């Protein structure tokens, strides 16, 4: 008897569903079928197109492909690009005694590096010492007068400040020379003979060197490097491969009267500058 009741109930349920479908408008039924089909299609697409997790072999293959197909910049080029916006040309002027009007004439050229966003520039003392007027040219071409605000004669260092600044002035990142080792790569950026900015690369040749030109005090604790430098490079930054300033190019060894680079350049460490001028190097 129970089986007969279940069969009767099932038949009744089926007749009710059939009646429900008959009463459902055609477009509603079509919309329902379309939604079901779309959901099924989406589920199958998600299943078959799910991304596979990357393996180390995939990553290695991608890196190798890039190395084989792309011309990547050298480490020195990348470092130079980082410091480039912070390097300035420093030009000094004195009165032209031959001109009765008392006009100014160029008397020297050197380099400098911006160390703060308010226009403070680190350079060599011998670049700006005694000058009647100091002019700096920023990376974007803007020229400005500058004044000496601090000096450190024992390390041939000077701090100057520009009166006009570019809108997008980018100060250099100061590093540390403490981690340098002989053989480490370094880059010098500046204006040799006023040409530049010019880039030269080399390695650290030695540390804690001493140097003193005739008639001048001996500078100590210098970085010795073989990155090419010439007159005009003085005051420019010596940087590591991260583009951080680790020294200020100060002198080149000149055993002859040629006044040109023969393989040895000296740079005052950035720590030397910070100790005497209240600058935090890192």
Is 4's pLDDT higher than 50?
no
Measured CA to CA, the distance from residue 56 to residue 64 in angstroms comes to 12
DSSP string, the chain: -HHHHHHHHHHHHHHHHHHHHHHS-HHHHHHHHHHHHHHHHHHHHHHHHPPPPP-HHHHHHHHHHHHHH--PPPHHHHHHHHHGGGEEEEEEEEE-TT-TT--EEEEEEEEEEE-STT-EEEEEHHHHTT-SEEEEE-TTS-EEEEEEEEEEGGGTEEEEEESS--TT--PPPB--STT--TT-EEEEEE-GGG--SEEEEEEEEEEEEEE--TTSPPEEEEEEE-S---TT-TT-EEE-TTS-EEEEEEEE--SSTT-S--S-EEEEEHHHHHHHHT----
Clarify whether 272 is annotated catalytic: no
Whether pTM > 0.95 for this model: the answer is no
**Cβ neighbour number for residue 138 with a 10 Å cutoff:** 23
Name the pLDDT band for 10 (thresholds 50, 70, 90): very low
Is 207's pLDDT higher than 50?
yes
Are 124 and 157 in contact by the 8 Å Cβ rule? The answer is yes
Q: Locate tokens 């500046």: which residue?
A: 190
Measured CA to CA, the distance from residue 48 to residue 194 in angstroms comes to 65
Residue closest to 46 by CA, chosen among 35, 58, 54, 38: 38
pLDDT (0 to 100) of residue 43 = 63
pLDDT (0 to 100) of residue 255 = 67
Residues 236-269: pLDDT tens digits? 999 999 999 999 999 888 766 777 788 899 999 9
Q: Under 8 Å CB-to-CB from 129, ≥6 apart: which residues?
A: 158
pLDDT (0 to 100) of residue 7 = 42
Tokens of 62: 């991608």
Clarify whether 234 is annotated catalytic: yes
**Cβ neighbour number for residue 60 with a 10 Å cutoff:** 10
Tokens of 88: 């300035």
Is 23's pLDDT higher than 70?
no
Residues 122-151: pLDDT tens digits? 999 999 999 999 999 999 999 999 999 999
Clarify whether 257 is annotated catalytic: no
Active-site residue, from 86, 126, 177, 200: 126
Are 118 and 160 in contact by the 8 Å Cβ rule? The answer is no
Active-site residue, from 86, 111, 156, 205: 156
Give the residue, 86 or 41, on which the prediction is more confident.
Answer: 86
Active-site residue, from 198, 200, 234, 272: 234
pLDDT (0 to 100) of residue 100 = 65
Residue closest to 277 by CA, chosen among 98, 109, 191, 154: 154
- Quick check: bond before 15 cis, omega within 30? no
Instruction: List the single range of 34-48, 59-73, 237-251 with lowest mean pLDDT.
Output: 34-48
Mean pLDDT of 4-14: 45
**Cβ neighbour number for residue 274 with a 10 Å cutoff:** 17
Are 160 and 146 in contact by the 8 Å Cβ rule? The answer is yes
């Amino acid at each position: 008897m129970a089986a007969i009741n279940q069969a009767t109930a099932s038949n009744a349920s089926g007749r009710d569903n059939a009646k429900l479908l008959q009463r459902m408008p055609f477009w509603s039924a079509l919309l329902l079928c379309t939604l079901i089909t779309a959901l099924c299609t989406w589920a199958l697409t998600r299943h078959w197109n799910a991304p596979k997790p990357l393996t180390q072999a995939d990553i290695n293959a991608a890196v190798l492909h890039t190395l084989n197909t792309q011309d990547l910049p050298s480490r020195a080029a990348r470092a130079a690009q980082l410091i480039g916006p912070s390097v300035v040309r420093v030009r000094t002027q004195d009165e032209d005694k031959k001109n009765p009007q008392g006009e100014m004439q160029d008397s020297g050229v050197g380099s400098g590096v911006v160390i703060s966003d308010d226009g403070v520039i680190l350079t060599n003392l011998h670049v700006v010492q005694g000058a009647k007027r100091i002019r700096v040219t920023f990376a974007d071409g803007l020229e400005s007068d500058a004044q000496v605000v601090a000096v450190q004669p024992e390390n041939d260092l000077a701090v100057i400040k520009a009166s006009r600044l570019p809108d997008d002035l980018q100060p250099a990142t100061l590093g540390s020379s403490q981690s340098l080792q002989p053989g480490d790569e370094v880059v010098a950026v500046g204006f040799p003979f006023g040409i530049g900015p010019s880039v030269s690369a080399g390695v650290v040749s030695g540390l804690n060197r001493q140097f003193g030109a005739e008639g001048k005090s001996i500078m100590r604790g210098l970085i010795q490097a073989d990155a090419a430098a010439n007159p005009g490079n003085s005051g420019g930054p010596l940087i590591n491969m991260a583009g951080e300033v680790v020294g200020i190019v100060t002198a080149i060894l000149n055993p002859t009267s040629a006044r040109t680079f023969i393989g040895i350049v000296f740079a005052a460490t950035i720590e030397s500058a910070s100790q005497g001028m209240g600058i935090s190097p890192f």
